[in-house]
Amino acid sequence: MTRNGLSLDTLLAQGGHFVDRETGAVVPPIQPTTTFARNDRYEVTDYIYSRNANPTGAHVEAVLAKLEGAEDALAFSSGMAAVAAFFDSLGAGDHVVAPRVMYHGVADLLRRLADRRGVEVSFFDATGADALEAAIRPGQTSVVWIETCVNPTWDVIDIRTAAKVAHNAGAVLGVDATATPPVTLRALECGADIVFHSATKYLAGHSDLLAGVLATGAMNERWQEIQAARTRMGGVLGAFEAWLLLRGMRTLHLRYERQADNALAIARHFESHTGIEAVLYPGLESHPGHEIARQQMTGSFGAMLSLLIAGGAKAAKRVATRTRLFLPATSLGGVESLIEHRASVEGPLSAVPSNLLRLSVGIERADDLIADLEQALA
Ligand X SMILES: *Cc1c(COP(=O)(O)O)cnc(C)c1O
Query: What residues act catalytically?
Result: 51, 103, 176, 201
198 binds ligand X (CB under 6 A): yes
Minimum distance, C-beta of residue 222 to ligand X, in the bound complex (Å): 20
Minimum distance, C-beta of residue 79 to ligand X, in the bound complex (Å): 2
Task: For residues 187 and 94, give the distance between their C-alpha atoms in angstroms, rounded to a whole number.
Answer: 24
Q: Do residues 355 and 349 lie in contact, with contact meaning Cβ atoms separated by under 8 Å?
A: no
Residues in 226-255 at the binding interface with ligand X, rule: CB under 6 A? none
What are the φ/ψ torsions at residue 341 (nearest 5 degrees)?
-85, 100
**Candidates 46-54, 125-133, 198-206, 235-243 — which segment interacts with ligand X by CB under 6 A?**
198-206
Minimum distance, C-beta of residue 163 to ligand X, in the bound complex (Å): 19
> Which residue sits closest to ligand X, CB atoms considered?
79
Specify the DSSP class assigned to residue 189. G
24: left (phi over 0), alpha (psi -120 to 50) or beta: left
105 binds ligand X (CB under 6 A): yes
Task: For residues 58 and 53, give the distance between their C-alpha atoms in angstroms, rounded to a whole number.
Answer: 7
Q: How far is CA 356 from CA 1, 116, 191, 353, in A?
A: 36, 32, 32, 5
What are the φ/ψ torsions at residue 85 (nearest 5 degrees)?
-70, -40
- Considering only 56, 151, 227, 337, the residue that binds ligand X (CB under 6 A) is 151
- Considering only 73, 80, 192, 376, the residue that binds ligand X (CB under 6 A) is 80
- Considering only 54, 142, 200, 227, the residue that binds ligand X (CB under 6 A) is 200
Task: Count CB-CB contacts under 10 A for residue 205.
Answer: 27
Q: Do residues 28 and 246 lie in contact, with contact meaning Cβ atoms separated by under 8 Å?
A: yes
Binding characters for ligand X, 280-319, by CB under 6 A (x = yes): ----------------------------------------
Task: For residues 302 and 306, give the distance between their C-alpha atoms in angstroms, rounded to a whole number.
Answer: 12
Minimum distance, C-beta of residue 329 to ligand X, in the bound complex (Å): 13
- Cβ neighbours for 105, distance < 8 A, ≥ 6 positions apart: 79, 80, 83
Minimum distance, C-beta of residue 80 to ligand X, in the bound complex (Å): 4
Could you tell me how many residues of this chain bind ligand X (CB under 6 A)?
16
Q: How far is CA 292 from CA 161, 227, 285, 298, in A?
A: 10, 33, 11, 11
- Considering only 8, 60, 172, 210, the residue that binds ligand X (CB under 6 A) is 210
Minimum distance, C-beta of residue 106 to ligand X, in the bound complex (Å): 6
- Considering only 68, 94, 176, 346, the residue that binds ligand X (CB under 6 A) is 176
**Candidates 51-59, 99-107, 238-246, 267-275 — which segment interacts with ligand X by CB under 6 A?**
99-107
Task: For residues 226 and 84, give the distance between their C-alpha atoms in angstroms, rounded to a whole number.
Answer: 9
Whichever of 53 and 80 has its CB closer to ligand X, that residue is: 80
Binding characters for ligand X, 316-355, by CB under 6 A (x = yes): ----------------x-----------------------
Whichever of 101 and 135 has its CB closer to ligand X, that residue is: 101
- Helix or strand run (H / E) with residue 216: strand 212-216
Could you tell me the strand order of the sheet in which 338-341 lies?
Answer: 276-280, 304-309, 356-360, 338-341
**Candidates 4-12, 63-71, 78-86, 162-170 — which segment interacts with ligand X by CB under 6 A?**
78-86
122 binds ligand X (CB under 6 A): no
C-alpha closest to that of 146 among 162, 168, 130: 162
158 binds ligand X (CB under 6 A): no
Minimum distance, C-beta of residue 211 to ligand X, in the bound complex (Å): 7
Task: For residues 101 and 349, give the distance between their C-alpha atoms in angstroms, rounded to a whole number.
Answer: 11
Task: For residues 193 and 173, give the distance between their C-alpha atoms in angstroms, rounded to a whole number.
Answer: 5
Minimum distance, C-beta of residue 177 to ligand X, in the bound complex (Å): 9
79 binds ligand X (CB under 6 A): yes
For ligand X, the binding residues (CB under 6 A) are: 78-80, 103, 105-106, 147, 151, 176, 178, 198, 200-201, 210, 212, 332
